[in-house]
Structures are given as C-alpha cells and as structure tokens.
Amino acid sequence: MYATLPGEAAPKLALAAAAECGGQDDLAARYYALVAGLDPSVADAAFGLARVRLRAGDRANATVAIDAIPDSSSWYLIAQLCAVQATLLGRTGNDVGEIELRSAADRVERLQLDPGTEQEVRATLLAAAVEHRCTRTGPGGDPFLGCPWRERDLRLALERCLRTSARLSSDADERIRLVDRANAVHPRTWS
C-alpha cells in the first residue's frame, strides 16, 4: 500500500503502528515523525511519536511532539493533558524539577476542564509539588496553581482538591479513598 500511495499518510501511519507493535521504536518514530511533520493535525502521528520518545526516555521531545497538535484539533485538550502526564510519568516530585512542575501547572491553568478532571489533574500536580517542596528549604517562590509555594499551603491546597474530588465522585469507595488521602496530606499540627 505504501508503494502504491507513497504520498498518503494512512500507509505511513499503518507502518508506524506495525513497527511500534513489533517493538521497532526507531522505525516507528521515523514514520510517525514523517506524518506529523507533513500534517501536525494528524494527532495519531503526534501521539505515536510521543509514545516512542517516552519509551526512549526523551520527555522533552515527547512533549514537543504533543505540542505540535494545533489548538483547532479536537484532540488538543487530550494532548495538553498528556503533556502534563508525560512530565510526571514514572517520576516522583523529587525527580521533577520546579521549572517542569510550574510549566505543567501553567499548561493546566490555560485549559477549560470539567470539574472532575480539573481536580484530578490539580491533585496530581499538587502532590508532586508537596513532595518536591518537602525536600527543599528556603523561601517560597511565585504561586503554584493559585497557592503560595510553601509546603503547608501546598498541602492545604492538595487537601481541598482531594475533598472536592470526593464530593464530585459517585463511587462510595472512591470517595472514602479520596477523603483518607486528604486526611493523610493535611499539614501536621501540634494538637
């Protein structure tokens, strides 16, 4: 099919997907990049390229691939959420730098999300920020997701997020899990 229609995106995407499924990430990346370079609105190519780059440990270029999806695409919102996930994937707050956390938070603040998704994403970022901030000393910086960059304030914001998520959840077990998690992150007091 590729030889018959060499200028079409579909055969290249099929070859990329087959190569990816076969564990040939270098070949898959080549075809995904070819399609994504010709037409950035082909979200399948951008997501595929991001996947193979993430497996190669190249977070920065995985995010670049996702960012190529135009804001006019129906996949734009999902792409932005995937970019946030790519920042945190397989890492703790200690592994993620403050600049990366702030960049992901800025990305989230620009999006129009439904309340449940917004609370979930904010909780993920706040948890990473709390973990990052717990190991650092010194003064706080600019606000992070609307709260001061101090451990106590980040914990309180995370707690609020988790409690809001619990209220939004229709699953009783999930509500209990979220409230337990909110209780666990609440800043310690002397009493």
Co-location of 18 and 60 in the same domain: yes
Co-location of 61 and 31 in the same domain: yes
Co-location of 117 and 160 in the same domain: yes
Residues 6+ away with beta carbon under 8 Å from 126: 144, 145, 154, 157, 158, 161
Domain that includes residue 69, residue range: 1-78
Co-location of 74 and 104 in the same domain: no
Co-location of 25 and 104 in the same domain: no
Is 111 part of a structural domain of the chain? Answer: yes
Is 83 part of a structural domain of the chain? Answer: no
Tell me if residue 156 falls in helix, strand or coil: helix
Alpha-carbon distance of 59 to 68, in angstroms, equals: 14
- pLDDT 10s digits, 64-117: 999 999 999 999 999 999 999 998 887 776 788 888 999 999 999 999 999 999
pLDDT of residue 139: 59
Co-location of 66 and 119 in the same domain: no
Of 78, 101, 125, the last residue of a domain is 78
Look up the pTM and report it.
Answer: 0.83
Tell me if residue 21 falls in helix, strand or coil: helix
Of 32, 47, 78, the last residue of a domain is 78
Co-location of 95 and 64 in the same domain: no
- At 123, which CATH number? 1.25.40.10
Co-location of 62 and 116 in the same domain: no
Is 84 part of a structural domain of the chain? Answer: no
- pLDDT 10s digits, 17-55: 999 999 999 999 999 999 999 988 899 999 999 999 999
Co-location of 104 and 135 in the same domain: yes
Co-location of 115 and 189 in the same domain: yes
Co-location of 106 and 68 in the same domain: no
**Number of separate domains in the chain:** 2
Cα angle 99, 48, 145 (rounded to 5 degrees) comes to 25
Is 86 part of a structural domain of the chain? Answer: no
Of 46, 78, 110, the last residue of a domain is 78
Co-location of 161 and 183 in the same domain: yes
Q: Whole-number mean pLDDT of the chain? A: 90
Tell me if residue 138 falls in helix, strand or coil: coil
The string of DSSP codes covering 45-78 is HHHHHHHHHHHTT-HHHHHHHHHTS-TTSTTHHH
